[in-house]
Structure 1
Amino acid sequence: MTQALALSPEGQLKLVIFDCDGVLVDSEQTCCRISAEEARAVGLNIPAENAVDEFSGMALPEIQKDIEKKTGKSLGPDWANRVQKRFVEAMKNGVEPIDGVHAMLDGVKKLGVPVRVGSNSSIEEMDAKFIATDMTHYFTNRVHSARDMGVPKPRPDVYLHAAEQEGVSPANCVVLEDSNTGARAAVDAGMMCVLLRPGTEPVPDWPNLVRIRHLSEFVPLLQKALQSQG
């Protein structure tokens, strides 16, 4: 028998797992811009304005494979680590929180639901982002990196690992994502996925996927589920 998912009246909401980039921190444009610069350096014409469309949600090893496939050139074994250092430095020099994120995190805390982070970013990069945006205190010892694990999204491993560390079933988890790559990981992990996406942009026709258009919609969604679950 399939276990009811965390937002249904028959389910149990026990853990919220956040993606980082595009959900908590507005760093995706910066990271995608740097990736596009690296691509142009080896002859792949990706204008800065197309960078997010090209690289959104992708981990650096996947970006490397994509660039190498399209150019026929090897970027070398140290490319991902070198670009990762560029990301970290860029985060230290300034990154913005997603609109409404602190109020949302405070609201989830008031509901009493534990939180964790599962991201394709490295722990080092997320540390820099959370320091820059005053979010470190929300996630002490509760941050998990698919990059550091070596199994980036769309593989579900980082979300399954977060649930395991919390000691809960995947069905008891809600994931907040913004990319199709991350949403695929959450759905494949057997979790309910809430996708933060403007109303003008399409949403995949996948099961267990709910769209919100602004972070202010997230806490009421959780609150309604908790109330229905008694």
Structure 2
Amino acid sequence: MPMQPIQLVIFDCDGVLVDSEPIALEVLVDMLAVKGITMDTDGAAERFLGRSIASMAEVVKEEFRVEIDQVFLSQMREALYARFRQELQPIARIERVIAGLKDRGIAWCVASSSQRERIELSLTATGLLDHFKHAIFSATMVKNGKPAPDLFLYAAAAMGTDPSACVVVEDSPAGIAAAQAAGMAVCAFTGGSHTNHASYQAALLALHPDARFDAMEELLHFVGGARRPEDHSDA
């Protein structure tokens, strides 16, 4: 599909900039068990990957008839942040990709379903904050979280870029659907350590992202031309 040259790359955070999803899913499963909800990480990934805390609470209430209160959220956040400070790692070669975008004159930002506090903690723990502190966008800034397009449209407007000149890098079905609804090209990144969940690959491919890749540096092959990226994955 013809399009104008790429001017802005919008990164999701969890699973795209930082390898946080396995930690987050483990913490969530443990916390749900306290509420009497038995679920493995596959089930948690299928239901919650890429969604906001508010969306997670809605799913739990609808499916399990369990209310997620502020005490639960505070305890989960405390457990998650403690593990992030000890264990969280950046996605391999992400800093090389950022340098490549800078060399090409392409802007970048992060737009995540997480609260800004969590985004900044994740980026700080992995040494990435200086690259993104100019442009951090959280789902708390918009009315509707992913899979609605609100966050990506908000980020593009704040960065002064038309949606047709944006590429979104996402790892979740909800995020891919949000980017597509925003009229943006979307690259599915499948290099995080959470991508082996049973339902993950099928849900991702069913949405037909414009590209899919396992190595982050492959993104640089997609952003220089005037067309939507082609799928360079080996699958």
1:186 aligns with 2:179: yes
CA shift at 1:82, angstroms? 4.6
Unaligned runs of 5+ in 1: none
Return closer, same or farther for 1:169/1:48 CA change in 2, 3 Å cut-off.
closer
Structure 1 partner of 2:146: 153
1:130 aligns with 2:123: yes
Aligned equivalents of 2:91, 2:130: Cα separation in 1: 17
User: For 1:174, what is the secondary structure of its paired residue?
Assistant: strand
Pairs within 5 Å for 1:155-170: 155-170=148-163
Find the partner of 1:119 among 112, 135, 142: 112
Structure 2 partner of 1:14: 7
Pairs within 5 Å for 1:101-112: 101-112=94-105
Aligned equivalents of 1:53, 1:171: Cα separation in 2: 29
Structure 2 partner of 1:55: 48
CA contact (8 A) 2:167 2:185 kept: yes
Structure 1 partner of 2:221: 220
Unaligned runs of 5+ in 2: 229-235
> Which amino acid counterpart does residue 45 of structure 1 have in structure 2?
T
1:69 aligns with 2:62: yes
Aligned equivalents of 1:186, 1:85: Cα separation in 2: 30
Structure 1 partner of 2:170: 177
CA contact (8 A) 1:40 1:46 kept: yes
CA shift at 1:71, angstroms? 2.5
Structure 2 partner of 1:197: 190
CA deviation string 1:83-107 (max 9, x = no partner)? 3344333322330111221212221
> Percent of pairs identical after alignment?
25
> Which amino acid counterpart does residue 48 of structure 2 have in structure 1?
F
1:32 aligns with 2:33: no
Structure 1 partner of 2:232: none
> Which amino acid counterpart does residue 29 of structure 1 have in structure 2?
P
Which deviates more from structure 2 when the two are superposed, residues 47-56 or residues 185-194? Answer: 47-56
Aligned equivalents of 1:80, 1:148: Cα separation in 2: 19
User: For 2:13, what is the secondary structure of its paired residue?
Assistant: coil
Q: TM-score, normalised by structure 1?
A: 0.85
Aligned equivalents of 1:120, 1:81: Cα separation in 2: 17
Return closer, same or farther for 1:227/1:68 CA change in 2, 3 Å cut-off.
closer
> Which amino acid counterpart does residue 220 of structure 2 have in structure 1?
V
CA contact (8 A) 2:188 2:209 kept: no
Aligned equivalents of 1:37, 1:186: Cα separation in 2: 31
CA contact (8 A) 1:17 1:117 kept: yes
- Between the two proteins, the alignment pairs up a number of residues equal to 220
Structure 1 partner of 2:87: 94
CA shift at 1:110, angstroms? 1.4
Structure 1 partner of 2:233: none
Structure 2 partner of 1:142: 135
CA shift at 1:22, angstroms? 0.7
